[in-house]
Amino acid sequence: MRSSKPFAIAAALALTMVLPAAALAQVGAAPAATVADPQAQAFIETLSAQAFTILRDPSVDRQEARSRFRAMLKQNVALVEIGNRLIRRQRAQITPAQYQAYVAALPEFVLNAYAERLYNYADAKVTTQRLIARGPFTDVVTRVTKPGGQALDAIWQVRKTPEGKYLINGLTVGGINLSLTQEADFAAYIQKNGFDALVEFMKSANARSVKIPV
């Protein structure tokens, strides 16, 4: 699987909800809405603050931090929707059992892929630049700055569920749609190795060995 610096940076941010990764962005444009939801900004800024609190707390070891990030990921990211987009071209060809195995492996795979990178951003800062309404979504445009590093723009796609809960539905970083990038990587791996092999890799990959070979 290909590796790109923007993708790695973005996904690491997204996982802690302070970063990317993933601007996993929507597939297919939604009709423009009239007004962006200001609560989407509050949602992203609150998650960022929570993530930085964990990263900067010397009393929280990495195992505990991973546990907290895992909970944040499951509670605040539309994992099933994002996961469905990543395999949308293969969805009709896989069995219900294969799909359930994939869905079960996805959260831990994302966590393992980027957990070790999170600490590189403990001293970063996220500031909101503007909001953009896109149908049922609000794009929260942010700038991630790290002392001595180049600023990175990230667009968080946020939606409000019928129950009133806000979820991250996509992320675009430095102009790169992370969802489409990951989808292409998964498709290449599946074409060469099969869907079951992808799931097994996702289940066995750890933080230091997460690059999918194609």
Kindly report the number of other CB atoms within 10 A of residue 100's CB atom: 12
DSSP 86-131: HTTTTGGGS-HHHHHHHHHHHHHHHHHHHGGGGGGGTT-EEEEEEE
Burial 160-179, CB ≥16 within 10 A → b, else e: beeeeebbbbbbbbbebbbb
Range 26-32 average pLDDT: 39
Residue labelled with tokens 């992808």: 198
The answer to which of 16-25, 45-54, 110-119, 192-201 has the lowest mean pLDDT is: 16-25
Is 19 a residue whose pLDDT tops 50?
Answer: no
Residue labelled with tokens 């403990």: 122
Is 134 a residue whose pLDDT tops 80?
Answer: yes
pLDDT of residue 114: 67
pLDDT of residue 43: 96
- Structure-model confidence comparison of residues 24 and 181, the more confident one: 181
Q: Which domains does the chain have, with CATH numbers?
A: 5-204 (3.10.450.710)
pLDDT of residue 94: 96
What is the Cα–Cα distance from 143 to 162, expressed in whole angstroms? 29
Task: Summarize pLDDT for 86-127 with one digit per residue, the tens.
Answer: 999 999 999 999 999 999 999 888 777 666 677 777 888 889
Closest CA to 48 of 137, 132, 145: 145
**Residue 34 banded pLDDT, cuts 50, 70, 90:** low
pLDDT of residue 116: 65
Range 25-53 average pLDDT: 75
Task: Summarize pLDDT for 137-175 with one digit per residue, the tens.
Answer: 999 999 989 888 888 888 999 999 999 999 999 888 888
DSSP 18: S
What is the Cα–Cα distance from 196 to 91, expressed in whole angstroms? 13
Cα separation values, 146 from 21, 37, 83, 126, Å = 16, 28, 29, 9
Q: How large a percentage of the chain has pLDDT more than 90?
A: 44
What is the Cα–Cα distance from 143 to 127, expressed in whole angstroms? 5
What is the Cα–Cα distance from 23 to 8, expressed in whole angstroms? 11
